[in-house]
Structure 1
Amino acid sequence: MAAGQGTRLGAAQPKAFVALAGVSLLEHAVRRALEADEVSHIVVVAPASHLSEAGAIASRSARPADVDVVPGGAERTQSVAAGLAALRPEDGIVLVHDAARSLAPPSLYSRLVHEVRSGHPAVVPGLPVTDTIKQVDARGVVVSTPDRSSLRAVQTPQAFLREVLQHAHATGADATDDAALVEAVGGHVRVVPGEPLAFKITTPDDLALAERHLSDR
């Protein structure tokens, strides 16, 4: 997914096209995805205003014939639906990924595909929550403190059997991630250990952290 505007990053262009070590977040994400043997086809969902830039990234990828570019929608769910509509007949497992998590390693893609092939129709990576979480009401008053041992901060890519994700999207509901749509129709979602490098680049501080990771490598 590369259709978001990323206003919190303070850039003059959509977040996916912001440079990280001289290369756009989107290009980093495409490179890493194609390094996973299990990934045979990528659909880049980009803003209509940046289709040519996304097409250029696809054309210089390691396997340009395996990367398609389509315009996204106004909301995330619409953009994912556009990606689903561009799948090829042989695409049986779908991984939905945010370009903002551009450093997610190829091994994460491989692990998620393996989990789906092992019988789990929906699999998401997640990290244990280390902060204490408070649920508050509209006045900012705490109403509960969930047990953090059962909480996970969920990442992308998220992996699904194609028919499971398509069924969830057919409801027309909206959500901040695709696993929530599967949950809403009664689907079983498995959480597996995530990757620290799959953090989301949302603010300038996040971008600086990603720069440090790359320079350390």
Structure 2
Amino acid sequence: MSDESHASPQSTAPHLTAAVIPAAGRGVRLGPGAPKALRALSGLPMLIHAVRAMAASRGVSLVVVVAPPDGAVEVKNLLDEHALPETTDYVVVPGGDTRQESVRAGLDALPPGITEVLVHDAARPLVPVDTVDAVIEAVRGGAPAVVPALPLADTVKQVEPATESGAPEPVVATPERALLRAVQTPQGFDLATLIRAHEQVALNGEGATDDAGMVEQLGVQVVVVPGHEEAFKVTRPLDLVLAEAVLARRRANDGF
């Protein structure tokens, strides 16, 4: 491992799971300022909460944080300042211009011996450890790709996108809500399957927003396990208010 890693004893288990956290995005919907992953949440950068959420699982032996290209040193210093469990190593690598490139940079940093990988959004800092464990268990049980997800509370409409911003959009279909799920992270994969997806699936524009979607394009089945309402994505300022409320409740109820 590179000199940017924090050493700890290696697990002797036949399965070794690493978590890759792409955190190179700017998070423009949260407004100007620090990158989204470095925004403060209860006095700590959101990224620290996300890393701790992965490290809380005894199944995760390594966390790879993919930092903004010009912020790897800053992120490494942040991780050094906030202790993780002794059973969890961490390493920081610079990311790319797209999420797909950043995830691939994280995969390239994995040492030999890793058998499964989780890909987790830094913007989902409050995912409970039970959800992380459920994803790992499903992958180790033989599923090549696993996503946590929740049933939808709202009816969904498929529309024909408007050519002008704010213009009315005609509805073209109403999918059956019972068949739809809102996907969360961490998404879990057999490592070889995810590497093959990144090698074979070409994506344009902003790259992949969902690694499971890349695996689907290989013709490999993706399965769903129950997600959790606290694994929501912090995207807008109101989400930060909700995240602070969740942390306050955890502190009051569990001494979190």
Q: 1:36 aligns with which of 44, 48, 57?
A: 57
SS in 2 for 1:113: helix
Q: 1:202 aligns with which of 223, 231, 235?
A: 235
Residue 160 of structure 1: aligned partner: 189
Q: How many residues end up aligned between the 2 structures?
A: 217
Residue 149 of structure 1: aligned partner: 178
Which structure's residues are more often helix, by fraction? 1
After TM superposition, which residue ranges in structure 1, 4 or more long, deviate above 3 angstroms?
A: none
Write the deviation string for residues 22-67 of structure 1: whole angstroms up to 9, x where unpaired: 0000001111211110000010001022212210232233247710
Residue 50 of structure 1: aligned partner: 71
SS in 2 for 1:69: strand
What is the TM-score of this pair, normalised by structure 2?
Answer: 0.82
State the shift of 1:11 in Å.
3.8
Give distance in 1, aligned partners of 2:208 and 2:62.
25
SS in 2 for 1:153: strand
Structure 1: state its 5+ residue gaps.
Answer: none
**Is 1:84 matched up with 2:104?**
no
Structure 2: state its 5+ residue gaps.
Answer: 1-21, 163-168, 251-256
State the shift of 1:187 in Å.
1.0
Give RMSD over aligned pairs: 1.2
Residue 21 of structure 1: aligned partner: 42
**Is 1:180 matched up with 2:248?**
no
Residue 71 of structure 1: aligned partner: 94
State the shift of 1:6 in Å.
0.4
- Contact kept, 8 Å, 2:123 with 2:233, in 1: the verdict is yes
What is the TM-score of this pair, normalised by structure 1?
Answer: 0.96
Give distance in 2, aligned partners of 1:138 and 1:113.
38
Write the deviation string for residues 161-209 of structure 1: whole angstroms up to 9, x where unpaired: 0000000000233321100000011111001110111100000100010
Give distance in 2, aligned partners of 1:22 and 1:49.
23
